[in-house]
Amino acid sequence: MLKKMSNFFISGFIFSLGLNVAQVNNPETIFGFIKLQNPIQMDLLIVFGSAVLFSFLGFKYLTQIHHEAKSTLVNKKFILGSILFGAGWGISGLCPGTAISAIANLDLNLLVFILSMMVGILLTDYFFNKECS
């Protein structure tokens, strides 16, 4: 029990620390890339790309993951969800992980975003009642 709790705590701590060190929890880092204004700021792409690469290497060499089932379902709901998510991310410069990792700023707008996001997640989950992947 205590071991399990500390695993979850450490994982959340490390993940959030990484988002802070890479500064991707600053909306300006997101806007600097997605606005595609000259010069395009590549920070987001570098962080995302290398995090995926490290994750790929980690999963490949540090875990036994190849037996894990992968959900392959791609339906209208999945497509619509991804588009809605991208729109909200593009407007605010915030996604769930980066928003929470910036919470120490105690900004009212940030707290409003997190609360609103929770409402969106819980309402959708309630009405569609799906298992999560």
Partner 1 sequence: MIEIQHPILNLILGSFIIAAGAIILYRSQKKFLGVSGLLKKLHQLDQLVFFAGMIMASLLFKNITGIEISFSQETVIYIFSGLIVGIGAALANGCTSGHGIVGLGRVNPRSFIAIGLMFGTAILMGVFNA
Q: What is the nearest approach in angstroms of partner 1 to the Cβ of residue 76?
A: 9
Q: What is the nearest approach in angstroms of partner 1 to the Cβ of residue 64?
A: 9
Please count the residues of the chain.
Answer: 133
**Sequence-ordered list of residues with C-beta below 8 angstroms from that of 102, at least 6 positions apart, any chain:** 20, 25, 26, 94, 110
Residue 38, interface with partner 1 (CB under 8 A)?
Answer: yes
Question: From CA 55, how far away is CA 60, in angstroms rounded?
Answer: 8
DSSP letter (8 states) at residue 1:
-
Q: Contacts with partner 1: how many residues (CB under 8 A)?
A: 110
Residue 129, interface with partner 1 (CB under 8 A)?
Answer: no
Q: By C-alpha distance, which of 92, 111, 125 is closest to 26? A: 92
Restricting to residues 84-103, name those near partner 1 by CB under 8 A.
84-92, 94-103
Q: What is the nearest approach in angstroms of partner 1 to the Cβ of residue 129?
A: 11
Q: Are 114 and 103 in contact (CB under 8 A)?
A: yes
Residue 132, interface with partner 1 (CB under 8 A)?
Answer: yes
Restricting to residues 44-73, name those near partner 1 by CB under 8 A.
46-52, 54-56, 58-59, 62-63, 65, 68, 70-73
